[in-house]
Amino acid sequence: NGEIILVDSLEEAVQISNEYAPEHLEINVENNEGIIEDLVNYGSLFIGEYSAEVFGDYVSGTNHTLPTLKASRYTGGVWVGTFIKTCTHQVLNKDAV
């Protein structure tokens, strides 16, 4: 499924993209570097006219197991840390409190 959305500014495009939280996001604007830090919800970002999504799947080595259904709002692609259980603990003494 695809969609074309016309916007009046890059800021509006960034806002919509962050709401959609796509699995794959391709951007091709004059100042790629200026927009990257504002894009925060995507599975994998493809930047510039030569960075087609297919390269992420088969050439450039990025993760192919990416979050879908807006899940990139709270998680990234599957990696080894996804399967590691972490446990934390605290021990306080009277002086610390």
What's 28's domain CATH number?
3.40.50.1980
Instruction: Please state the pTM of the whole predicted model.
Output: 0.69
Domain that holds residue 74: 10-83
5-44 confidence digits (pLDDT tens): 999 999 999 999 999 999 889 998 888 878 889 999 998 8
Site of tokens 């709401």:
19
Q: Distance between CA atoms of 29 and 40, rounded to whole angstroms?
A: 17
Asked if residue 35 is part of any domain, the answer here is: yes
Q: Which of 11, 12, 19, 23 is catalytic?
A: 23
Q: Which of 3, 12, 24, 26 is catalytic?
A: 24
Q: Tell me whether residue 30 is one of the annotated catalytic residues.
A: no
Total of domains in the chain? 1
Asked if residue 59 is part of any domain, the answer here is: yes
Q: Tell me whether residue 64 is one of the annotated catalytic residues.
A: no
